Structure 1
């Protein structure tokens, strides 16, 4: 796995994406999968600043997404969603209160269900570096809640100030400030903000919340494998041994949508990736769609065009042109 080790002392990059799967590959050293959930043409942007042993980024996605993420091992990730992200933001299946910092240790999976027009800041640094700065600033060890998966709610003013600080860091010309000073200022701003936080308990570990996450994971596994037909809600209930109402409520909590909408969006995502990854494949698009459970060519074409703002044949053509350029 790639990490920040051996990188240039300061590297600022901006990358643009027109597909959620491409966007997932942008952040240095991470393992990620993104799937587009809402309708429309996808637009993504990542501004990433890599400093010695420290990573800052600002990430925007225009459409709702499902993200399965893992930061580099030995680090701690702090996610700071732009204020006003809306009630559809879920972290490991839980709604995220306003002004809440998300935390996850590197090498550990977490999930995000993001709303439309979503912007999040990220700070990633080794746990040892975080502990050192906490000791220097406070004289105390890092609280346990700072290096485990969880959420930490800040006062609105402290949270907003942290967002402003990260914007200024990411908008600073690369040659105007020494990397060590920029890293020091970033970690200091983070620690000072976190000291005002409340909460920090584990996320997604209670029995019922873990069960809901397991249902979504099982449905995602079904969606990731070609099949003759999309399972019905009743079939999904039978597989998971739950009632229809319980399943609907669980999906609404974790991904803010229904099971069938979830399955359809993920299946469309996988068809799209098949078209983009093998543009020279001569398999008729209707046959490919049928292999992923879309029996009606007209319904598939309508759903696909509505989801991605282009036809399946346009996706294949653009991928072919991109490979030839």
Structure 2
């Protein structure tokens, strides 16, 4: 596992800080250079979030053996990757061992994700996502801006969780949980470019898929269930999982399963006194390691902070 957060005042030092990348950054915007890089690498997945205050030209070679993705988090103007405009409605997607040219604007914030090709292929097969080689050759894929923003926030949150407590991800399951969370977010965006397949499942079958997913959450309270977990354990494709939840619950799978875990935390809080089970412990028991995000999600669902929930006496 490798995790770091660094601040730079020189473009070359910034470029060299990205582990495993052969590249050069040329500053072309005026002003003193200021930048930062947050990066985490484990279990065949590398994620980095980079920011810089001035316009930069990035040239180099994409890591061999990986498929690289990029999501725009912010910038004073669109990016340009291999001559194609990239903004909030686009995602960089390119196979490794190829030269690249990226123009990044002033005040840019970019999320880069490199996933081992074999790992991405295995995850896609398990999820029923057919990734064609020609798809990645397009360099930039159009995606719904809202979906890209959600995926970006999820990945950034995962990276920040590792940086805040690296030891929590050093366990046997930690690296794979990190890799699954990132890969799952990317596959969700790639599904927008997978042709729809006719879904002949009955409503009863879809309901059964939702029920079994619900049971999985209750059986693994301390470990959140990802979409990849559902696909592998239920032996169905990602699209089937998504269609089933949308049909039965009118919610996406992750939102539904998060609500189920939040409901279990609330039940635990109302059934126990604060002195016996503090809010932090209750959240951790149901897989919420980031208390800030937990409190925000809890308030959104129940209209009050967990600290305001009436406890048993």
| TM-score, reference length from structure 1 | 0.55
Q: Aligned-pair distance for 1:197? A: 4.5
C-alpha offsets along residues 61-112 of structure 1, whole Å, 9 cap, x if unaligned?
Answer: 11101110322211110011115x3444211223224321012221101111
Match for residue 76 of structure 1 among 61, 67, 89: 67
Question: Residue 174 in 1 paired to residue 166 in 2?
Answer: yes
C-alpha offsets along residues 23-60 of structure 1, whole Å, 9 cap, x if unaligned?
Answer: 11111111001111111110111111011211011011
State how far apart, in whole Å, the 2-side matches of 1:187 and 1:64 are: 29
The higher-RCO structure (CA 8 Å, 6+ apart) is 1
Match for residue 157 of structure 1 among 131, 146, 157: 146
Provide the residue aligned with 1:20 in structure 2: 11
State how far apart, in whole Å, the 2-side matches of 1:145 and 1:175 are: 40
Residue segments in structure 2 that go unaligned for 5+ positions in a row: 196-313
State how far apart, in whole Å, the 2-side matches of 1:198 and 1:68 are: 30
Contact 2:25/2:59 (CA < 8 Å) preserved in 1? yes
Contact 1:152/1:198 (CA < 8 Å) preserved in 2? no
Q: Which runs of 4+ in 1 moved over 4 A?
A: none
SS of alignment partner, residue 56 of structure 1 = strand
| CA shift in 2, pair 1:115/1:175, >3 Å | same
Provide the residue aligned with 1:114 in structure 2: 104
State how far apart, in whole Å, the 2-side matches of 1:149 and 1:16 are: 33
| CA shift in 2, pair 1:86/1:18, >3 Å | closer
Provide the residue aligned with 2:130 in structure 1: 141
Provide the residue aligned with 1:185 in structure 2: 181
Match for residue 45 of structure 2 among 49, 54, 57: 54
Q: Aligned-pair distance for 1:143? A: 2.3
State how far apart, in whole Å, the 2-side matches of 1:42 and 1:149 are: 32
Residue segments in structure 1 that go unaligned for 5+ positions in a row: 1-9, 200-325
State how far apart, in whole Å, the 1-side matches of 2:48 and 2:96 are: 16
C-alpha offsets along residues 203-247 of structure 1, whole Å, 9 cap, x if unaligned?
Answer: xxxxxxxxxxxxxxxxxxxxxxxxxxxxxxxxxxxxxxxxxxxxx
C-alpha offsets along residues 149-169 of structure 1, whole Å, 9 cap, x if unaligned?
Answer: 511111122111111111111
Match for residue 93 of structure 1 among 70, 83, 90: 83
